[in-house]
Amino acid sequence: MADPVIIVGAGQAGFSLASKLRSLQADRPIVMIGLEDEAPYQRPPLSKKYLMGEMSFDRLLLRPHSWYEEQKVQLLLSSWVEEIDRQGRFVTLQDGRQLAYDKLVLATGASPRTLPAAMGGDLGGIYSLRSKLDADRLAPALKPSQRLLIVGGGYIGLEAAAVARNMGLEVTLIEMAERILARVAAPATAQFLREIHLAHGVSIREATGLRRLIGRDGQVVGAELSDGSLIDVDLVIVGIGVTANDRLARDCGVAVGNGVIVDDSTRTSDPDILAVGDCTLLPFQGGLIRLESVQNAVDQAEAAAATLAGQPAAYVPKPWFWSDQYDVKLQIAGLNLGYDETVVRPGARPGSLSIWYYRADRLIAVDAINDAKAYVTGKKLIDGGLTVDKAVIHDPAVELKSLLS
């Protein structure tokens, strides 16, 4: 039997690759190696419905366990690759087993950044939120009236704040930058979400960093902030971004930057090794970017499957994202990198709004807040490489659907 395609990583990208490849090649051997002891599952609900006990874990599974046997996808759980031998074309697992590969795909994802021990990062009561294990550890600690400190004002931190307030905790969120969402959203989007969180009782402290956490008997009990103030704390959620899991590629000499560098067919610098998902640094508009999203994990993985099946085609990302906070649904189309102007358009209903991003007079992204029409219209325009005059967007008398005719 031919050596298999080995997929290192059993998240959304790894599963999507295996599923698509099996549909393209019915008999090709496929092995998927997963660090966790669970079959591939959806991650976004972990920080929302699963954490709040509103969704059981079996509903998060991308496919039941029986699917892998039926599709002849060998799933090795609670396993990880320690080393890649590119010359011998095999990987070595943590238990010493060596598995030969025909092609290797890195779908290793990303890991949350943590606080250093010198800052108190090794104390008990400090949590990240990336995996089922993280959510299972955090859920029992989310008790009414507990004092929660969230470090980081990005989408992960804001979503955690919304869940915690819904569960009755006292929440303080600190952001080192001048405002929340400083790297990823326009001031108008940040201001809208800030007001929502303030209305729900979250204490937001911008331009404020963490100096150190204070412990007692190994457990966090307080925090000293960069302005010198001290606050009492029962638990901490750290949401300060992620780093690409690119060690395997780096160690075996595959080109890396801020992630594993791939071309538009998902190949790395080694033609027998591909990479997909959050661990990759991929081509976009003349540069290289990381795209941490379910959409990219699925679409890029399906492009990799086509490459493996001998049907390579250039993968052109069409990014979209979402965030749910309280009763607010934020949908994002495009990437606002390098924007130089925004247009704010009130929605048709109270509490709805859209922010349209322009770079050199070209529409590049839309943030739609409780405004599905703005999202759908903006996504179609951006995906089609079309733009709309800013004055037209600014005019509430213009029907959005007319922009597509």
Would residue 336 count as lying in a domain?
yes
Query: At residue 78, does pLDDT exceed 70?
Result: yes
- Give the Cα separation of 245 and 251 in Å (integer): 12
Token couple for 7: 């997929």
Would residue 370 count as lying in a domain?
yes
Amino acid 404: pLDDT: 85
231 and 301 both lie in a single domain: no
Residues sharing a CB contact under 8 Å with residue 110, sequence separation 6 or more, in sequence order: 242, 243, 244, 245, 278, 279, 292
3-state secondary structure of 64: coil
Q: Which residue segment(s) compose the domain that 191 sits in?
A: 114-238
Amino acid 160: pLDDT: 95
Would residue 292 count as lying in a domain?
yes
303 and 378 both lie in a single domain: no
Query: At residue 135, does pLDDT exceed 80?
Result: yes
Would residue 313 count as lying in a domain?
no
3-state secondary structure of 291: coil
Mean pLDDT of the chain: 95
Residues sharing a CB contact under 8 Å with residue 350, sequence separation 6 or more, in sequence order: none
105 and 122 both lie in a single domain: no
342 and 250 both lie in a single domain: no
Residues sharing a CB contact under 8 Å with residue 279, sequence separation 6 or more, in sequence order: 9, 106, 107, 108, 109, 110, 244, 245, 246, 249, 259, 260
Query: At residue 405, does pLDDT exceed 80?
Result: no
- Give the Cα separation of 199 and 78 in Å (integer): 43
Mean of pLDDT values over 174-196: 96
- Give the Cα separation of 285 and 382 in Å (integer): 13
Tens-place pLDDT, residues 324-351: 999 999 999 999 999 999 999 998 888 8
Domain boundary among 238, 265, 282: 238
Token couple for 296: 């990219």
Would residue 188 count as lying in a domain?
yes
What is the number of structural domains in the chain? 3
102 and 185 both lie in a single domain: no
253 and 105 both lie in a single domain: yes
104 and 129 both lie in a single domain: no
Query: At residue 1, does pLDDT exceed 70?
Result: no
pTM of the predicted model as reported, rounded to 2 decimal places:
0.94
Amino acid 48: pLDDT: 86
62 and 172 both lie in a single domain: no
Residue in the structure block whose two tokens are 């160690």: 251
- Give the Cα separation of 236 and 200 in Å (integer): 19
Would residue 315 count as lying in a domain?
no
Mean of pLDDT values over 377-394: 93
pLDDT band at 275 (very low <50, low <70, confident <90, very high): very high
- Give the Cα separation of 113 and 173 in Å (integer): 17
Tens-place pLDDT, residues 207-229: 999 999 999 999 999 999 999 99
How far, in Å, are 170, 180, 198, 282, 382 from residue 192 at the CA level? 21, 11, 10, 32, 23
Domain boundary among 308, 343, 358: 308
Share of the chain above pLDDT 70, in %: 100
| Phi-psi group of 338: left, alpha or beta (phi > 0 → left; psi -120 to 50 → alpha; rest → beta) | left
Angle (CA) 340 281 156, round 5°:
70
Assign residue 397 the CATH number of its domain: 3.30.390.30
Assign residue 10 the CATH number of its domain: 3.50.50.60
- Give the Cα separation of 142 and 47 in Å (integer): 12
Amino acid 206: pLDDT: 97
248 and 103 both lie in a single domain: yes
231 and 261 both lie in a single domain: no
